[in-house]
Amino acid sequence: MTRAVSTAARWRRFGLSAVSMAVLGVVFLVPFAFVVLAAVKTRQEASLLQLTWPTEWRIAQNFLEVLSARDYLLIIAFTNSVILTVSAVAISVILAALAAFVLQRRPSRWNPLINMLVLSGLIIPPAVVPTIWVLDGIGLFRTMLGLILVEVAFGVSFCILLFRAFLITVPRELDEAAVLDGAGPLRLFFRVILPLLRPVIITVVVVQSVTIYNDFVNPLYFLPGEQNATVQLTLFNFNSQYSNQYNLLFMDILLIMIPPLVMFLFFSRQIVAGMTSGAVKG
């Protein structure tokens, strides 16, 4: 692609790079810098809401104060968020992989209907009060299990589509060989197919974890109550209860941003792959 590049072209390249760095840096890094700086300031200094270097560093104090606020609610909230995210993602992966396997491998006249149902899961906004009514009817409203199953129901379409697209690349000869060796459908699926889905499982797990961890609406509706709060809910409530303690608010935001950041550092490729899989034709 590159051959003898003229001096003018090279200068243009550096000019463009410098301008993009500067503009994108201001737009996309300043908000994060603001969060980090405000999180380590004193209460008075943070309440000025300025983008300044802290005159006094209060990392440890602010950190401990946020953790201990309201009887260590943040720790309870982190525990709840982890339980919710891990269970919902694990259940989604198994249920979606099973369904996608049959959907991709066994064409039938029901497939158009099933495909339509799967797609509607991506488009239709969930009906809130009727969902509460159903949850209440089966005794799962205001329970963690109820919220977990709601997250599974709302996310399973996306997972099925990713699994189905990947299964196209898994040769059917493997199924036939396994069946000839006397494997039943369960063994075929869990011993042969599931291990081969590893790359797409990682993608699904990472993308769904970030989505469910960041979810605010569903916990708000389906799991109300202080002791059940997830991190996003405590963050929202924190704002109204400690409205002038901006240092603690931003320390809270900072702590809540860390898990997605870690995910991104390790799995940026899978995340991007999962989120862009509709973009390329063929």
Partner 1 sequence: MTTTFEPATSREGPAPRPPGRIRSGVRAGARYPYWFYLPAAVVYLVLFIVPTVVSFFFSLTRWRLIDWEFIGFENFVMFFREAALVTGLVNTLIYGVLTSAAKVVLGLLLAVLLTSNIVGRDFLRSMVFFPVLVSTVGVGLTFEALMDPFGGVINNALEAVGLPGPGWLTNPSYALLSVALVDIWKGVGLATVIYIAGIVSIPREYFEAARVDGASAWDNFRYIILPLARPATTTVIILSLIGGLRSFDLIWTMTGGGPGFTSDVIASVIYKQYQAGFYGLSTAGNVVLFVVVTAIVVPLFWWLNRKEAEL
Q: Is 5 left (phi over 0), alpha (psi -120 to 50) or beta?
A: beta
Nearer to partner 1, 46 or 76 (CB): 46
- Cβ at position 197, least distance to partner 1 in Å: 14
Nearer to partner 1, 89 or 99 (CB): 99
Nearer to partner 1, 31 or 199 (CB): 31
Handedness of CA 113, 117, 122, 123 (dihedral sign): positive
- Cβ at position 166, least distance to partner 1 in Å: 10
- Cβ at position 130, least distance to partner 1 in Å: 4
- Cβ at position 76, least distance to partner 1 in Å: 17
Nearer to partner 1, 76 or 152 (CB): 152
- Cβ at position 202, least distance to partner 1 in Å: 15
- Cβ at position 98, least distance to partner 1 in Å: 4
> What is the rounded radius of gyration, in angstroms, for the C-alpha atoms of the chain?
24
Nearer to partner 1, 62 or 157 (CB): 157
Handedness of CA 129, 133, 138, 144 (dihedral sign): positive
- Cβ at position 112, least distance to partner 1 in Å: 7
Nearer to partner 1, 80 or 232 (CB): 232
Q: Are 88 and 223 in contact (CB under 8 A)?
A: no
Task: Report in angstroms the alpha-carbon separations of 84 from 97, 164, 231, 242, 267.
Answer: 20, 25, 11, 26, 21
